Amino acid sequence: MSAAANARAAVRCLRAGIVPHSEIDQLSGAYDSIRRITERSLLSLRSSGQGKTLLVRGEWGSGKTHFLSYLRAAAAKYSISTATIILNARSTPLNYPQRIYPVIAETLRVGEDVGLKAILTRALRRLESNTDIERALASHEYFGPIRHLVRATREEAFHEIGGHWCWTPLLGADIAAMDYAYKREQALARLGALGILLRALGFGGLVLLFDEAETIDQLWNVRSRLAAYDVLGRLCHTDALWCIFAVTERFDRTIHLDLARDVLSDPTCSQHAQWFLRAWSSNRFDTIRLPELDQTVAIQIAGAVARIYEVAYGRYPENLPDRCVREWSANPARNPRRLMRLLIHRLDLARTAPAGA
């Protein structure tokens, strides 16, 4: 694609409030300290398979989703796999990881490949990787289906494995609709095995990006939340996984209220749940508080957006970015997404759009 075509694709994303991966660096303002933390953690994950749980704090509109996009792009530079999960109490609750696992398998991203099926299919095409997979996964029941796929790639035409029965457990279709406790155990075991698999394939491990973790307060009762805390504690202790949780004050308030109820003394509070609650209480997790944009950084971001727009559609009124920054500054909700969408809107109005643009 030409530079203009790429820029127009980026502008279409910005109109929808989505920061394109190709422009994420120049559209991330005041990220110097954040870059250091994320790069250190990504290098640790790739070298040792260890990642310290990260809490990303900020209220609605503060840029948490933007940060998760930034982190996906940063992980891609190190060829590390990522998956994004938007949590909620109905379809992807923290106390039921068997509903979360299929989402991870679907949103898993490595380079241009999206989804575990696409990633594993490409890996199986490389004959030399089959031995690596079998060696790394020999001792885990999750990898029985993978061993079947390895044999299938040797014995059958490759196009025939797309409908192989092994994809059912690998993609989590056999556990997604069941709420039994043993299905929760299976899902957590598969997540751990998935991280090991991705390391064996040369992808460093798995970065799990959990958005809207504050929806833990929507769970039915304290027993449901204790199960969620257990899952959180186990995820934090799983090798080859790096967990990032984007949270608002609702998340902290929910935990604080549960601790005030003395849930640590509840007989159903597992060791992993106790560990997570105590780690939260003693601030043992890495924490990022997203920076508020000041006028200087806002001008830099507006200039970057305007340059992308100029590549896409040509010249624009020179004072338009500054006017948009002043208008944006007058609004109490000073988040980067609002600034970008405002500027794109004003730039669209300032030009005569040709048919089909």
Query: Last residue of some domain: 261, 289, 317?
Result: 289
- Total domains, the chain: 2
In the block, tokens 């910005």 appear at 14
Q: What residues form DSSP beta bridges with 209?
A: 84, 244
Q: How far apart are CA 50 and CA 72, in angstroms?
A: 17
Q: What sign does the CA torsion over 119, 65, 31, 311 have? A: positive
Residue 103: predicted pLDDT: 96
Residues 36 and 82 in one domain: yes
The whole-number pLDDT of residue 309 equals 92
Measure the CA–CA gap between 275 and 55, rounded to whole angstroms: 16
Quick one: pLDDT at residue 356? 46
Task: For residue 254, give the CATH number of its domain.
Answer: 3.40.50.300
Domain boundary among 257, 289, 321: 289
Residue 339 DSSP label:
H
How many Cβ atoms sit within 10 Å of the Cβ of residue 183? 20
Q: What three-state secondary structure class fits 59?
A: coil
Report the Cα 239 to chain-centroid distance in Å: 17
Same domain, 205 and 75: yes
Single out the residue in 289, 316, 336 at which a domain terminates: 289
Is the dihedral angle over the CA atoms 49, 111, 99, 143 positive or is it negative? negative
Within-domain flag for 357: no
Asked whether residue 91 falls in the same domain as residue 180, the answer is yes
pLDDT at 355: 46
For 346, the domain range is 1-30+294-351
* pLDDT for the residue numbered 338: 84
Same domain, 105 and 199: yes
Tell me, yes or no, whether 196 and 123 share the same domain. yes
Phi and psi torsions of 209, nearest 5°: -105, 105
Same domain, 272 and 323: no
pLDDT value of position 133: 63
Gap between the Cα atoms of 210 and 289, Å rounded: 16
Measured at the CA of 205, the angle between CA 244 and CA 270, to 5 degrees, comes to: 55
Give this prediction's pTM: 0.85
Does residue 215 lie in a domain region? yes
The reply to whether 35 and 1 lie within a common domain is: no
Instruction: Average pLDDT across each block of 10 residues of the chain; the chain has 357 residues. List them in order.
Output: 85 84 74 83 89 87 79 90 94 95 95 89 67 60 74 66 83 90 92 89 92 94 96 95 94 96 95 97 90 80 90 88 90 79 90 54
Q: Give the pLDDT of residue 139.
A: 57
* Rounded Cα distance, 276 and 285, in Å: 10
Separation of CA 355 from chain center? 37
The answer on 181 and 90 residing in a single domain is yes
Considering the domain architecture, whether residues 217 and 72 belong to the same structural domain is answered as yes
Q: Is 11 part of a structural domain of the chain? A: yes
The pLDDT value given to residue 134 = 62
